[in-house]
Structure 1
Amino acid sequence: MAFEAIPSIVGRTIELFPDRVAVETPDSRLSYAELDGLADGVAAALHRAGAGAGSVVAVLTDDRAELAAAMVGVLRLGAVLAPLDLSAPPLRLAAVLADARPTHALVGADGDRRADGPLDAAPDTVRVGLGAAKSAARDSYPARTAAPDDPSHLFHTSGSTGRPKGILGRLSSLDHYIRWQAGLLGAGPDWRVGQLVSPGFDAVLRDVLLPLSVGGTLCAPPAGIRSDPSALARWIDRERITLIHCVPSVFRPLLTAAVTGGLGFASLRCVALSGERLPPADAARWFDRFGDRVTLLNLYGPTEATMTKTFHVVTRSDTDRASVPVGRPLPETEVLLLDEGGAPVPDGHVGEIHLRTPHLALRYHRQPEATARAFVPDRLREGADGLLYRTGDFGRLLPDGALEFLGRRDHQVKVGGVRVELEEVESALRECPGVTEAAVVLGEPGDGPPLLHAFVEPAVGVDTDAVRARLAERLPAAAVPVGIVATDGIPRTISGKIDRAALRPPAPAAAPDEHTVGPRNATERAVADIWSAVLPAPAVDVRRTFQQSGGGSLAVISVLSRIEEEFGVSLPLLTFLRNPTIEALAGVVEEALLDTASDDLLKD
């Protein structure tokens, strides 16, 4: 497939469909012609501010129309795109900006003040308002010829040193992936693609650039419903969304909401899943509800390989497997399973997944040692001077040739589709007052989402509630442990390393003491059972808040989904946050049930 730069592909689409809607948000509709003008304004404003080819440009805006225009404009200039999520903790944003060292930052037209604090971490960064870009003269920046290996985007994941790790991508990988997925799905001008993921993760590239490359419409939901499965499911149904990309932990409550709400998703054609393992049971529930009408696409690939590099169209027969395969490689990509010595393993045996493709990331940003460890010489192809990417994941080939993902080699884990490095969380824990040592493990409570648990030394003098609050200011929500246990001794191996295999999430809570108030009616008992299913320990006190019981933001989604499945009551996230105890939430559920019953009587 001959290389064509994404700005060229989008530009051709603009010429074909100037009047079609390119971006649709709750507040605006942007035509392709208007997108063209805004993108030119972005490129011109950046050029006037001194940016050019290779400049790293941070983008800080919540407005998805501005985000799309900024992405196209930055790429037109030949600069490096670095979108950030303004909803992330300020200290996390500051750490990313300090590592990225952007030369310029595009800030929302409204001049969002949330960008001010984090940008203090990058004092040499030139700030450019997207409002100014709207009035900038068009075409007043130099034309350039793009090359496949030009740096194009920068995204950050967790790093083992405690600082975020930047991954610098190349331009050819965008063209390669977007054109492949559009061709596989047959995407065209009638496609409406939901924009659900955070701007801070590389999956945003396919959310935005896929529809813009085929004349489709990028559709952004209201910000408040992204974490509300019922509201999000209704939005997908109402707005006739054709394609969504999400992680299985978002897919699961969406499916429950669709079933309990009687939603048909009549326009939906594909759900593309990545970032976590897809449980066969979830795929079975999907087929039971929607049959084969909507394609389930299971994808695999790290940020270092730009979005994904293998794919598998899920079938009903996959629901009988132990795990759903991640499939076969994209064109121009090979999957190699190697042993510790770098030799291929026999068919059917477990090996570490290595990727051979010209569309890998260029390197880790300003981390040459990490780059040398992960991007290794390709010694299996005689005379080759290329590189393999060592993923750190284990896998094996199934008898039908499909790749099965089996877990990570190191201590990187996925929580809610977000990559978390356990060492980063441990490093943040050690910076907390009173903590001298820390270890973090991942637990998987039944069919609930994976949860992090932390162990800290010493047992005396550590305020675990204060530690958790401090982490919430510095780490993404997915990286904050739901439980923190103070202990006198973290187990270690004979070599002195932390023995994570010997660490176990806390045992279920002991029987309630005399001060505990247990469930007092059927509704409270049902809500308590739902909490217990997703929390690290059973919920026994109806007055204890969800957070005090070890619940995190991801667990909230599961609770809301289960309440709707159990009671047929859809509760907004804000209602849960205002009623964070079993006692209060049970009262809200009962009121909703009474309101529903009254409405039914009036109808009769």
Structure 2
Amino acid sequence: MAFHAVHTLVRHVAERHPQRIAVEDPRGALTYAALEALSDQVATELSAVGATAGDFVLVLAEDRREVIAAVLGVLNIGGVFVPLDVTGPRDQVADVLADTAARYAVVGSGRPDHTAKLPVTTVAVDATKRMAPTRPVSSSHRPAPDDPCYLFYTSGSTGRPKGILGRLSGIDHYVRWETDLLGVTDEWRVSQLTTPAFDAMLRDFFVPLTVGGTVCVPPTGAVLDPPKLLTWLDEQQITLMHCVPSVFHTLVDAASRSDAELAALRVVATAGERLPTGDVERWFERYGQRIGLLNLYGPSETTMTKTYHQVTASDVDLPSIPIGTPMPGAEVLVLDERRRPCPPGDLGEIYIRTPYRSLGYHNRAEATRAAFVPNPLTGDADDVVYRTGDLARQLPGGALEYIGRSDHQVKIAGVRVELSGVESVLETHPAVEKAAVAAFDGPEDVPYLCAFVELSSRADDGELRGHLRATLPEAMVPAVFVRLEELPRTISGKIDRRALPEPVPADDSELDAFPPRTPTEEALARLWTRMLPVGHVGVRHEFFDLGGRSLQVMRMLTQVRQEFGVEVPLADFLAAPTVECLARRLDEETRVRATLSGESGDGPR
């Protein structure tokens, strides 16, 4: 198909439908005309300070209206946008600046703490100010298919993130494929649930914007509050939702107890993790097949996703939901250890062949050569395929079944985690002599990371977690730390990962120092031990320091509501996430209700 730069497609929509709503954010809405005016201002000011085609431009904004305007403005001058999560670790900005040597940044309103001392020239973008219509920015740059246009960072083996450099044709190819497959029109309202720092935001933004639809952003915290997210999807008449299976799982739980009919929702597209058959079965039981389920697969290196499967009710009888077949413009090879094609049913590694792959890893020539290799079936150096490291087998109907990883990389809450990268950061702590990190399936089949450490001096779990959190996102921080006198090693002296022990639930004397004292505390402690990789719970230890994850919080609060009959707002729990504080709130609520009803009592119902 003929190439079209996505930002020019958005401009064409703005010219035809200037008053149509382009973005709805809790802070306000932007029409296509206002979005174009804001992006043109960004482009004009970037050009005025010297930014030109090919320059890296950081995007630091939380308001999605400002993120989208900044991205379009950078594309308008032929630049490379580098979006960062302003709520993430502060060290990430320094790491990205060191990697890119970027000289420019577009900064949104309300984030002065992230930008006050940046050694770059900054341009402001503020969606709260009304912009007068401007003439389209005049640029001598004409977009070409292979133009570099974005840089997204993913986990690296040294602990420093790797930047994946994308090309314009990759975005265009994926976006037009999805809009054609689903029949997306200008009436569609598409959810935007992910952080701007992940490449999934490309489909959230450009699938609707290139056809005249609306990008819809939920209220803050809704992704971690399934009933709130479900209500928002229903009330805002969302047509298409992209999410990771972890979020879908929490939504299924909420839907089973809700009367939300999701009348406008046509498709839920999942990607980033294995999609459990149990969740699919429960979803179909609640909504039938009126709402389509689309399971997507593909690494960021090949531009978003490259295989797809439209889920049916019969899929629930399979061991796992297939990741499907290649989209047009992509080919999948399943090869054995000798790089020969695997017969159907045999396990092999996935190689992806597509002209719409990324341009490789920025400043990582060796890593790029190791991942983007000549096609083993042709030997042609110009016939490049991406070696994913993912294992799969071909099912009788031709679809692929994802099995797992062939290396030390895992997915936690949809985030790709390079285990050696976590180890590298952990080993920079002065008390850590050596570390090995592994993934395990925890309670309720929620995967978690365990760090096995050799220590030269005492360091408690909180200190080690704090050290990691200064650099790494939540998904990369181990839930459990196991101290070993010596890590198991092979004859050659390497860490023997197969000999690492299965983590036993924590039996820390610190936990014993704060045992449950009341029936409510005892009930909550039992609930937490069912959810978290711990043997028992100290009532003053925080949920997250016991291995809890953000998406587990709402599942826990849902069970609290079922067991105690008390609705605890997410924000209230996050302000004091301990058994002690939660139990105090539940007991107070129980006493108030008992007083009003003339009864007495406490503890779970």
Q: Structure 2-normalised TM-score?
A: 0.92
Q: Which runs of 5+ in 2 are unaligned?
A: 599-605
Mark the CA change 1:262 to 1:159 in structure 2 (over 3 Å): closer, same or farther.
same
Structure 2 residue 211 is matched with structure 1 residue 214: yes
Distance 2:133 2:184 in 1: 33
Write the mapping of 1:453-532 to structure 2, written as runs, cut at 5 A: 453-458=450-455, 460-509=457-506, 515=513, 517-518=515-516, 520-521=518-519, 523-532=520-529
Structure 2 residue 139 is matched with structure 1 residue 142: yes
Distance 1:138 1:126 in 2: 24
Mark the CA change 1:360 to 1:290 in structure 2 (over 3 Å): closer, same or farther.
same
- 2:428 maps to 431
Residue 110 of structure 1, CA deviation: 4.3
Query: For structure 1, which segment, 585-594 or 309-318, has the greater mean C-alpha deviation from structure 2 after superposition?
Result: 585-594
Deviation string for 1:430-489 (max 9, x for gaps)?
A: 011211100111111142421111111127423332111111111101111111222211
- 1:46 maps to 46
Mark the CA change 1:136 to 1:215 in structure 2 (over 3 Å): closer, same or farther.
closer
Mark the CA change 1:116 to 1:229 in structure 2 (over 3 Å): closer, same or farther.
farther
Of residues 120, 127, 131, the one that matches 2:122 is 127
User: What secondary structure is seen at the aligned counterpart in 2 of 1:214?
Assistant: coil
- 2:603 maps to none
Query: For structure 1, which segment, 48-57 or 364-373, has the greater mean C-alpha deviation from structure 2 after superposition?
Result: 48-57
Residue 569 of structure 1, CA deviation: 4.6
Write the mapping of 1:216-231 to structure 2, written as runs, cut at 5 A: 216-231=213-228
Distance 2:256 2:150 in 1: 38
Structure 2 residue 545 is matched with structure 1 residue 555: no
Of residues 529, 536, 553, the one that matches 1:539 is 536
Distance 2:296 2:50 in 1: 39
- 2:299 maps to 302
Deviation string for 1:173-204 (max 9, x for gaps)?
A: 10100011111111111111111101100001
Distance 1:592 1:240 in 2: 35
Distance 2:291 2:336 in 1: 38
Distance 1:415 1:519 in 2: 34
Distance 2:56 2:242 in 1: 26
Distance 2:397 2:593 in 1: 51
Residue 550 of structure 1, CA deviation: 3.3
Mark the CA change 1:564 to 1:275 in structure 2 (over 3 Å): closer, same or farther.
farther
Mark the CA change 1:578 to 1:505 in structure 2 (over 3 Å): closer, same or farther.
farther
Distance 2:29 2:9 in 1: 21
Residue 405 of structure 1, CA deviation: 0.8
Mark the CA change 1:233 to 1:311 in structure 2 (over 3 Å): closer, same or farther.
same
Mark the CA change 1:225 to 1:32 in structure 2 (over 3 Å): closer, same or farther.
same
Residue 542 of structure 1, CA deviation: 3.5
Distance 1:310 1:531 in 2: 38
Mark the CA change 1:28 to 1:349 in structure 2 (over 3 Å): closer, same or farther.
same
Q: Is the 8 A contact 2:392 2:404 kept in 1?
A: yes
Q: Is the 8 A contact 1:445 1:533 kept in 2?
A: no
Distance 1:56 1:565 in 2: 50
Structure 2 residue 58 is matched with structure 1 residue 58: yes
Write the mapping of 1:35-114 to structure 2, written as runs, cut at 5 A: 35-110=35-110, 112-114=112-114
Moved over 6 A (4+): 511-514, 593-601
Mark the CA change 1:302 to 1:597 in structure 2 (over 3 Å): closer, same or farther.
farther
- 2:365 maps to 368
Of residues 392, 395, 403, the one that matches 2:389 is 392
Distance 2:17 2:455 in 1: 64
- 1:440 maps to 437
State, as a whole percentage, how many aligned pairs show the same letter. 49
Q: Is the 8 A contact 2:34 2:133 kept in 1?
A: no
Residue 338 of structure 1, CA deviation: 1.2
Query: Residue type matched to 2:281 in 1?
Result: A
Distance 1:130 1:530 in 2: 46
Residue 576 of structure 1, CA deviation: 1.2
Query: For structure 1, which segment, 338-347 or 283-292, has the greater mean C-alpha deviation from structure 2 after superposition?
Result: 338-347
Query: For structure 1, which segment, 535-544 or 97-106, has the greater mean C-alpha deviation from structure 2 after superposition?
Result: 535-544
Query: Residue type matched to 1:457 in 2?
Result: E
Residue 544 of structure 1, CA deviation: 3.6
Of residues 354, 357, 360, the one that matches 1:357 is 354
Q: Give the CA RMSD over aligned residues.
A: 2.5
Q: Is the 8 A contact 1:43 1:76 kept in 2?
A: yes
Q: Which runs of 5+ in 1 are unaligned?
A: none
Q: Is the 8 A contact 2:433 2:456 kept in 1?
A: no
Distance 2:456 2:286 in 1: 50
- 1:198 maps to 195
Q: Is the 8 A contact 1:352 1:392 kept in 2?
A: yes
Query: Residue type matched to 1:74 in 2?
Result: V
Distance 1:113 1:209 in 2: 29
Query: For structure 1, which segment, 566-575 or 496-505, has the greater mean C-alpha deviation from structure 2 after superposition?
Result: 566-575
User: What secondary structure is seen at the aligned counterpart in 2 of 1:261?
Assistant: coil
Mark the CA change 1:158 to 1:510 in structure 2 (over 3 Å): closer, same or farther.
closer
Distance 1:435 1:375 in 2: 35
- 1:315 maps to 312
Query: For structure 1, which segment, 94-103 or 591-600, has the greater mean C-alpha deviation from structure 2 after superposition?
Result: 591-600
Query: Residue type matched to 1:518 in 2?
Result: P
Mark the CA change 1:230 to 1:100 in structure 2 (over 3 Å): closer, same or farther.
farther
Distance 1:112 1:209 in 2: 28
Distance 1:250 1:220 in 2: 15
Mark the CA change 1:579 to 1:262 in structure 2 (over 3 Å): closer, same or farther.
farther
Q: Number of aligned pairs?
A: 595
Mark the CA change 1:491 to 1:25 in structure 2 (over 3 Å): closer, same or farther.
same
Structure 2 residue 468 is matched with structure 1 residue 449: no
User: What secondary structure is seen at the aligned counterpart in 2 of 1:175?
Assistant: helix
Q: Is the 8 A contact 2:167 2:359 kept in 1?
A: yes
Mark the CA change 1:541 to 1:379 in structure 2 (over 3 Å): closer, same or farther.
closer
Q: Is the 8 A contact 1:448 1:533 kept in 2?
A: no
Distance 2:589 2:2 in 1: 58
Q: Is the 8 A contact 2:521 2:579 kept in 1?
A: yes
Q: Is the 8 A contact 2:37 2:133 kept in 1?
A: no
Deviation string for 1:81-138 (max 9, x for gaps)?
A: 2111100010123223322322311011445322335x3xxx3x32212249957964
Q: Is the 8 A contact 1:298 1:313 kept in 2?
A: yes
Structure 2 residue 274 is matched with structure 1 residue 249: no
User: What secondary structure is seen at the aligned counterpart in 2 of 1:208?
Assistant: helix
Q: Is the 8 A contact 1:517 1:541 kept in 2?
A: yes
Query: Residue type matched to 1:61 in 2?
Result: A
Of residues 572, 581, 585, the one that matches 2:582 is 585
Distance 2:344 2:594 in 1: 60
Query: For structure 1, which segment, 562-571 or 74-83, has the greater mean C-alpha deviation from structure 2 after superposition?
Result: 562-571
Residue 65 of structure 1, CA deviation: 0.5
Distance 1:78 1:595 in 2: 62
Residue 490 of structure 1, CA deviation: 1.0
User: What secondary structure is seen at the aligned counterpart in 1 of 2:184?
Assistant: coil
Deviation string for 1:315-369 (max 9, x for gaps)?
A: 1111111111000111010000112222212222111100011000011101100
